[in-house]
Amino acid sequence: MPRSAPRPPKPTAAELDLLRVIWKQGASTAREVHQALQAERPDVQPATVLRLLQVMHGKGLVVRDESQRSHVYAAAHARDALQTNLLDELIQKVFAGSGKALVLAALDGHVSDGERDEIRRLLEESETPATGKGGKRHA
């Protein structure tokens, strides 16, 4: 039986903030991450960002290039892989394993009209020949 790839570690909310910056701008020094993060969190201190990046490196959330004086940090996992891992955990813990319950909760007040229209379009595009009208699969 083939082994599946190890699941990415679970980041804290603060670690996710730093990962979002790194995913957006690519490999960055602690100073660059701090500067980008200041726009949304002006109270965050440079030393806090550096310490978090060091912890994240230890957890395997980021990789560190130590070849330059200022270490450069990059995400160790693709955004999609980490999001999928966190979403799987959320569905299991909060929605008793039901993806449908998650989607219904998300649609109830968390989705704009424009996003709802885009979701409809994506669902229509994803229908396959094995799918009949109304999106129900035939047995």
Give the residue extent of every domain in the chain.
Answer: 13-75, 79-127
pLDDT tier, 19 (very low <50, low <70, confident <90, very high otherwise): very high
Q: Stretch 60-89: mean pLDDT, rounded?
A: 90
Q: What percent of the chain has pLDDT over 70?
A: 87
29-42 residue pLDDT tens = 999 999 999 988 89
Residue that the structure tokens 């679970």 belong to: 10
Radius of gyration for the chain, computed over Cα atoms and rounded to the nearest angstrom: 20
Residues 11, 55 contacting (CB under 8 angstroms): no
Report whether pLDDT(82) > 60: yes
Pick the CATH number of 13-75 from 3.90.340.10, 1.10.10.10, 3.30.465.10, 3.40.50.10090: 1.10.10.10
Residues 74, 60 contacting (CB under 8 angstroms): no
Going through 1-139 in order, the beta strands assigned E by DSSP cover 28-29, 62-65, 72-75
pLDDT of res. 84: 84
Residues 17, 37 contacting (CB under 8 angstroms): yes
pTM flag (> 0.85): no
Q: CA-to-CA distance for 126 and 11, rounded, in angstroms?
A: 31
Poorest-confidence range of 12-16, 75-79, 107-111, 117-121? 107-111
